[in-house]
Amino acid sequence: MGLARSSCYYQAKGESEAKLKEDADIRDRLEALALRFPRYGYRRMTAQLKRDGLSVNHKRVLRIMREAELRVKTRRRYVRTTESGHRYAVYPNLYRQTQLEAIDQVWVADITYIRILLGFIYLAVILDAFSRKVVGYALS
């Protein structure tokens, strides 16, 4: 017939109605599970569906959860970096009412730490307040 051998194995790529109905059933189950377990991700959802007797792939669960916007939003830990309730003297900000007109009138400084594999390094920076350019820095 002159056809390639691969044409014997060809399947149409369009989704059948049975597949769409099955996805809708899985989506309904996932929505019910999301109400019961709001912090479950796709791995736990897949395990729960398997415990309920439904044989489903984790990739399919992830795709359906993504389409139905059922994915869990990750919580970020709040890190407080400023300790305002200290016992040291608080000095007034003399710079607040100053109108800057040229460079080198006011310099400001800041220090921060940067996490690396071996621990922390500290970065101290001095900026010109008018131009916001770095005047100097030290890394330790």
Q: What integer pLDDT is reported at residue 52 of this predicted model?
A: 93
Q: Where are the alpha helices (DSSP H) in the chain?
A: 17-36, 42-51, 58-67
What is the average pLDDT value for the chain, to the nearest integer?
89
Query: How many domains does the chain divide into?
Result: 2
Contacts of 121 (CB under 8 A, 6+ apart): 113, 114, 139, 140
Asked if residue 72 belongs to a domain, the reply is no
Q: Are 122 and 111 in contact (CB under 8 A)?
A: yes
Domain of 29, in residue numbers: 16-67
Question: Which residue positions in the chain have pLDDT lower than 70?
Answer: 12-15
Among 67, 96, 129, the domain-final residue is 67
Reported as a single tens digit per residue, the pLDDT across 20-43 is: 889 999 999 999 999 999 999 999
**In this structure, are residues 108 and 95 in contact, taking their beta carbons and an 8 Å threshold?**
yes
The Cα 19–Cα 41 span in angstroms is 23
Type of residue at 97 = Q
Determine the pLDDT at residue 102.
Answer: 93
